[in-house]
A = this chain, B = another copy of it.
Amino acid sequence: MEYKKKVQQLIVDLKTNYLLSVSIDCVIFGFHAGQLKVLLLRWKETDDWCLPGGRILHEENMDEAAHRSLRERTGLHEIFLQQFHTFGDVLRYKNFSQQETLLKLGLPDDALHEFINRDVSVGYYALVEFAEVTPTPDFFTDECRWWDVDQIPLLLFDHNDMIVLALKTLRRQLTYQPIGYNLLPDKFTMPDLQQLYETILGQSLDRRNFQKRMLGYGILERLEERKTGGAHKAPYLYRFNKENYEKALADEILFVG
């Protein structure tokens, strides 16, 4: 009963303080050691998974709302979130046969309507080093964890479509912006960088071409150190030239995966 009351308060809060008809969903990709994962939340008392998301306060910029939602629901701070697409089909709720989800939540019948009202949802994505994250469920969810991108279950709403398009956008981004800062350690090898690109692109790349192209962009500095500990000839260590990297981000120099 305490719970039902809380839910009803949340609905009043929603109607009073937030923009109607617009929501936000976040596709958080996690990268670590050659694996690509997505952060999902499991609704309370169910086996239904969905993306973390939220709504926009009346006096709040949309980008700030995205950051706040993510912070509140997953504990993640200061992520580079990037808007990728807005989802506006009437049938966004096709996978919402799961009205039971809401019933299980203990919502009153008339409150159901509040949740399945038609929203336009703005999709954001980010790529983070997933070892650094502590996923945390929120009021509506029991669990928050990483899923391999190739093993995502059928999600609530149109969230599967969102992940597919976010991944496509992330891959496309590799063709005009550099990637790696904040994802690789401060010093890394060329194979480390290539593995990052290969993981995101989902395909292997030619080693020599990759190296030639990456060096051509002028964003890397080769250090006078080599990586130690390997059995074979130790590869050189590199680091990003921050200034050139920022410039490449802004100029959208053509990057080729």
Instruction: Please report A residues at the B interface, Cβ cutoff 8 Å.
Output: 19-22, 56, 58-63, 65, 83, 85-90, 118, 120, 122, 172, 175-176, 252, 254, 256
Between-chain CB contacts (< 8 Å), 25 pairs: A19-B20, A19-B21, A19-B118, A19-B120, A20-B20, A21-B22, A22-B22, A22-B120, A59-B90, A60-B90, A61-B90, A62-B86, A62-B87, A62-B88, A62-B89, A62-B120, A63-B88, A65-B88, A83-B85, A86-B86, A86-B122, A88-B122, A172-B252, A175-B175, A175-B176
CB distance from A167 to the nearest CB of B (A): 13
Q: Are A254 and B19 in contact (CB under 8 A)?
A: no
Partner pick for A88 among B21, B61, B176, B254, CB 8 A cutoff? B61
Partner pick for A176 among B19, B60, B172, CB 8 A cutoff? B172
Question: Which chain B residues border A254 with CB–CB below 8 Å?
Answer: 175, 256
User: How many chain copies does the complex carry?
Assistant: 2
How far does the alpha carbon of A175 sit from the alpha carbon of B256 in the complex, in Å? 10
Question: Which chain B residues border A59 with CB–CB below 8 Å?
Answer: 90
Q: Are B83 and A86 in contact (CB under 8 A)?
A: yes
Would A120 and B122 be within 8 Å (CB), given that A19-B21, A89-B62 are in contact?
yes
> Looking across the interface, which residue of chain B has its beta carbon closest to that of A65?
B88
Question: Which chain B residues border A83 with CB–CB below 8 Å?
Answer: 85-86
Question: Which chain B residues border A86 with CB–CB below 8 Å?
Answer: 62, 83, 86, 122
How far does the alpha carbon of A24 sit from the alpha carbon of B252 in the complex, in Å? 27
Question: Which chain B residues border A87 with CB–CB below 8 Å?
Answer: 62
How far does the alpha carbon of A19 sit from the alpha carbon of B86 in the complex, in Å? 15
CB distance from A47 to the nearest CB of B (A): 30
> Looking across the interface, which residue of chain B has its beta carbon closest to that of A85?
B83
> Looking across the interface, which residue of chain B has its beta carbon closest to that of A59?
B90
